[in-house]
Structure formats: structure tokens, C-alpha cells
Amino acid sequence: MEALITAAGLGTRANLPSNMRKEMLPVYSLRNNKIVLRPIIDAIIENLDDNNIKKFYVILDKNDTNTRNYLSSLKYNIEFIYQNKPEGYGKAVLLARDYIKNDFILNAGDGLILDQMSLKNIIKKYYSGEKNIITLMKVNNPSHYGVAMIKNNIVTGLEEKPKSPKSNYALSAFYVFTRDIFDFIKGEELTPAINSMVKENIKVYYQKIKRYDWISIGKSENYYKILKRTYDYCKKLSP
């Protein structure tokens, strides 16, 4: 299995300089039993590599030499896919259609599953036969997210930022997909594509994670919380 990481967004909510992407903002990570600071995209790749994912495709803005040069300096097997301009998450994922030939993990470059057991459980589900998996977290404000309805261990429907949510289970930006997903992406968003899969009777499964265990870099004023949560998690695991 391979991994696709999207890292071509503008990151305007993070109020960063134009030459810096939020995927390059540091979080705390545990390396060789030492707590270190690494860009969040580095932490994502390291965690997947620890779970035997060895091939990575990273979608970058064509002008983002900083992220490309940093990732090129790492030990991982990374191939870059370039996006000319941001057109939404779905369009970014669709760029990988001609590159990815097998089932794959999709992870937003600014989001991290903090709890490694949850990550291992998702991958275990895949190898047990659940080929399309989304991750869900219970939230208090589901209208701000893509939302999934679930029953009997499968997803029965999805909505993107609904005004009247039918569920309080929001999608975090970590998925496992077969190549079928590419056939269903028609617009800028990914959630409608997954919903179309469900309507075509392609089974989509889910893994629940705790809201606290999903790290996503958003607004600049909340970044300090990301640092604290990643540090606390590393401290808990460190010898």
C-alpha cells in the first residue's frame, strides 16, 4: 500500500508568510526516544513509515521549493506531484490518478493522527478486507465539517458542511481508498465523491478516533494548542 499526502493549499487561515506552508510548521515528535521538533508533514510520513508504508506521493504547489527541498533531504521514497493552482481537496487528490496504481492511504499534509494505536487499527482493518475506510471523530459543531452517517459498521451517507447535520461524526482527513475513488471525484470537494461510492453500493467502512487525537493545523491563534498536545503525547511515550 502507498500513501498520498496533499500539501498544496494556501493555508490562509494560518496567516503564514506567502513562501511558507502550514505543512512545514513544526510539531513535537518522538525520534529515537528523544522529543524533537519536526514539520508536521515529516511527522505524518514518519508515522506511516513506522507502519510499513514505504512509497509516498506528495502533492505540492509548483512553486513550493521550500517544502520540496526539505522532503527531498529525508530518507523516504517520495515522488512529487505538482499542482498549478489550488482548486479544492478533491481536485488535488485527482491529480494522483495517473501515479497511484494500487490501494492507498490519503492524508492531508496538515493533519496527524496522534494516537498510534488508532493508526495501526486502521491499517489492520484494511488488511482484514475493509478496503475503503474513513476516520471519524465526534464533534460539537458538525456543520463545520464533512459529516458521515453510519450503521452496522459501514457508512450509509455523507454530507459536506450540512446546515442541519444528521450526525455529529465528522471526517478527519485520513482515509484508505481503492482506486475507485478517482472515478467518483467530480468537483472540488472529496466528501461528495465518497458519498457517491456509498450510493453505488461500494462499501465504505469507518474507524472512530477521539477528537483530541486528531491534530490539524488551522488558525494561527490555536497553534499553541497543537504544540502542547504533541508535546504531551511524546512526553507520555518517552522513557
The pLDDT > 70 percentage for the chain reads 96
Residue 218: its pLDDT value, please?
82
Domain total of the chain: 1
- Other CB atoms within 10 Å distance of the CB of residue 2: 19
Domain that holds residue 33: 2-237
The pLDDT value given to residue 226: 94
Please tell me the pTM assigned to this model. 0.94
Give the pLDDT of residue 18.
Answer: 65
Residue with grid cell 492511504, as numbered in its chain:
105
| High-pLDDT (> 90) share of the chain, % | 87
Q: pLDDT tens digit string along 118-146?
A: 999 999 999 999 999 999 999 999 999 99
Average pLDDT taken over every residue of the chain: 93
Read off the pLDDT band of 8 (50, 70, 90): confident
Largest CA distance in the chain: 49
Q: What is the mean predicted confidence (pLDDT) over 97-113? A: 96
CB 153 within 8 A of CB 205: yes
Q: What is 4-26 written as a DSSP string?
A: EEEE----GGGT--TT--GGGSE
How many other C-beta atoms can be found within 10 angstroms of the C-beta atom of residue 172? Answer: 25
- Please state, in angstroms and rounded to a whole number, the distance separating the CA atoms of residues 85 and 12: 14
| 99, amino acid identity | Y
Residues in contact with 126: Cβ distance below 8 Å, sequence separation at least 6, in sequence order: 1, 103, 133, 176
Q: What are the grid coordinates assigned to 91, written together?
A: 481536485
CATH code of residue 53: 3.90.550.10
pLDDT per position as a tens digit, 161-203: 999 999 999 999 999 999 999 999 998 899 999 999 999 999 9
CB-CB contact of 224 with 239 (8 Å): no
Q: Kindly report, residue by residue over 13-42, the tens digit of the pLDDT.
A: 656 666 678 999 999 999 999 999 999 999
Rounded Cα gap, residues 75 and 53, in angstroms:
13
End-to-end CA distance of the chain: 31
